Amino acid sequence: MKVLVIGSGAREHALCRSLSLDPAVTALHCAPGNAGIAEVAELHQVDALDGAAVSALAAELGADLVVVGPEAPLVAGVADALREAGVPVFGPSKEAARLEGSKAFAKDVMAGAGVPTARSYVCTTAEEVDAALNAFGAPYVVKDDGLAAGKGVVVTDDIEAARAHSAACDRVVIEEYLDGPEVSLFAVTDGETVLPLQPAQDFKRALDNDEGPNTGGMGAYSPLPWADPKLVDDVLHSVLQPTVDEMRRRGTPFSGLLYAGLAITSRGIRVIEFNARFGDPETQVVLARLQTPLAGVLMAAATGDLAHLEPLRWSDDAAVTVVVASHNYPGTPRTGDPITGLDEVAAQDAPHAYVLHAGTRREGDAVLSAGGRVLSVTATGKDLTEARDRAYTAVARVGLDGSQHRSDIAARAAADA
């Protein structure tokens, strides 16, 4: 099977790594990719938001399957263009990707499907904003309605900050605050059959102890030793399957990866958000534990054949990933700095620990930082403590001037396990 992956983050590196280990994959391509992905896949230049260009590349490569990683091409309709061209694609249509692209749309689908989520108001004027903020009280949760890569959300006790964020957006969703730990649960679906993966936890705040600004995610781990063993089944029946059924009922079936961001509150499971793609950095730890070869799973989803797939097999190992970010991330990051230590990790820590690249590029023999999130250092172990130790040992070998990473990824879960 010839596979083309669209995207250039650590998520795409994790996808390409797993696909490269799948004996069914005879050729692996990625566009645009990064310096790390280049070691496992052939890279191509393409405007990932241009459906015609991506379809032309898929045709030129004779791709049997295209996997679209990030949300922006999905929301731009790249999967639709591929489907029209007759190429099997893993990723939802533009209409279905609105589950991620519009928070208000997602709330409407959840209401139709009876899926539990935070109560909310959609507001466009300062008067509506004030009424909603006062109705819920602090802590205030204000979300930009549009696509914001996980950074359009402000959670604050300061009503002026809540008002200011609302004023900076055209349309906001203001909702009740959800207490309790967060869980990311992904499901592969062909629009009908829903196959949940293993749960993971993401660390969204920039600094240790969940302080600092929200980011796209600073680290993740799986499994969750503290979670109810029934969690996956409960979420399948109360959230994932009803949402997929509702999308099909609306005539916009969702096929691809449905990502449920959940809060386990004192009153039960609530959906915080849906995404229409694999999460980053959770994918790095979920795929590290998946033993079933990946290409067949994604192909079955793309071709409507998931009902016939064997149950997924999972390793009992734990996995931890630590994101190494540029100076000033999540603000405007500094880029162009050389990254050192990658060969040492490959020589001394593999196969249990390895570096997945996000914002990197190669210049001659050097690998340079090229974005806010630069690397996702991933490790497995017999438990979270061992996986964590291996991940941080590898992180310590990596040199990147001014870089930052959290030191407490999976610390509490490892200590409590």
Q: What is the dihedral of CA 162, 122, 151, 267, to 10 degrees?
A: 90
155 binds ligand AMP (CB under 6 A): yes
22 binds, among ligand GLY, ligand AMP, none (CB under 5 to 8 A by kind): none
200 binds ligand AMP (CB under 6 A): no
Among residues 11, 165, 204, 388, which is the contact residue for ligand AMP, using CB under 6 A? 204
118 binds ligand AMP (CB under 6 A): yes
Give me the least distance between CB of 352 and ligand AMP, in Å please. 29
Residue with the CB atom nearest ligand GLY in the bound state: 279
Among residues 177, 227, 340, 408, which is the contact residue for ligand AMP, using CB under 6 A? 177
In the complex with ligand AMP, the residue whose CB is nearer, 102 or 252, is 102
- SS3 track for 91-119: CCCCCCCHHHHCHHHHHHHHHHHCCCECC
Partners of 65 in beta bridges: 3
214 binds, among ligand AMP, ligand GLY, none (CB under 5 to 8 A by kind): ligand AMP
279 binds, among ligand AMP, ligand GLY, none (CB under 5 to 8 A by kind): ligand GLY
Among residues 261, 333, 359, 372, which is the contact residue for ligand AMP, using CB under 6 A? 261
217 binds, among ligand GLY, ligand AMP, none (CB under 5 to 8 A by kind): ligand GLY
330 binds ligand AMP (CB under 6 A): no
132 binds ligand AMP (CB under 6 A): no
143 binds ligand AMP (CB under 6 A): yes
393 binds, among ligand GLY, ligand AMP, none (CB under 5 to 8 A by kind): none
289 binds ligand AMP (CB under 6 A): no
List the one residue out of 209, 382, 377, 197 whose CA is nearest residue 279: 197
Applying CB under 6 A, the residues found at the interface with ligand GLY are: 150, 202, 216-217, 275, 279-280, 282
264 binds ligand AMP (CB under 6 A): no
Give me the least distance between CB of 264 and ligand GLY, in Å please. 17
144 binds, among ligand GLY, ligand AMP, none (CB under 5 to 8 A by kind): none
314 binds, among ligand AMP, ligand GLY, none (CB under 5 to 8 A by kind): none
In the complex with ligand GLY, the residue whose CB is nearer, 277 or 352, is 277
In the complex with ligand AMP, the residue whose CB is nearer, 153 or 232, is 153
Give me the least distance between CB of 202 and ligand GLY, in Å please. 4
150 binds ligand AMP (CB under 6 A): yes
Among residues 79, 89, 142, 178, which is the contact residue for ligand AMP, using CB under 6 A? 178
Strands 42-43 and 172-175, bridge-based pairing: unpaired
Which residue is listed with tokens 């999130």?
373
**Which parts of this chain interact with ligand AMP (CB under 6 A)?**
118, 141, 143, 150, 153, 155, 175, 177-178, 182, 204, 214, 261, 272-273
